[in-house]
A = this chain, B = another copy of it.
């Protein structure tokens, strides 16, 4: 349309460029809307903010969860990568665990509604749930096992319930000033300590 008289190839490329640009706009818009209205924000709001039609969202992200994943992929991945790094650089495995949990909680708390979306009962966030677990479960497991091996914490808690618990504790943390999720998560971690 824009480049009249060009070859089909160029047309196709320009289309792709358009598509990619759109996808990026979508991610940016979604990130903003998620922050202001939570991850359950109406699809239309996101489309409007991105300046595209709702259909475009569905093309790029068939499921709402797909969109959420895409939006937070970088941060999830960073969180995943931080695990081994912290383990290597911290004085003890337990210290690494504490720091990593901090990262994870920051991530959940600062994203309005993400913690809720991570809850297991929501069927429409299945892929989101899955992705998070796939990325973070091994890391968390590694940290827990290391800390258990060093005798700092008990060894009878799996990473899955642990992460679920942290996720749950972060629910609603952004909307209630009287509720300090980090505090409670710290208590939970403290509860893991080996009863000397």
Q: How many copies altogether?
A: 4
* CB pair B157 A183 closer than 8 Å: yes
CA separation between A160 and B119, bound complex, in Å? Answer: 22
* CB pair A179 B191 closer than 8 Å: no
Chain A 130-141 near chain B by CB (<8 Å), digits 1 or 0:
000000000000
**Chain B residues within 8 Å of A169, by CB:** 165, 168-169
Range of interface residues on A (Cβ < 8 Å) = 35 or more
A interface with B by C-beta (< 8 Å): 1, 3-5, 7-8, 119-121, 157, 160-162, 164-165, 168-172, 175-176, 178-180, 183-184, 186-192, 195-196
CA separation between A172 and B143, bound complex, in Å? Answer: 25
CB nearest to A154 among chain B residues: B187
**Chain B residues within 8 Å of A175, by CB:** 120-121
Given A179-B161, A188-B184, A172-B120 contact (CB < 8 Å) = yes
* CB pair A187 B157 closer than 8 Å: yes
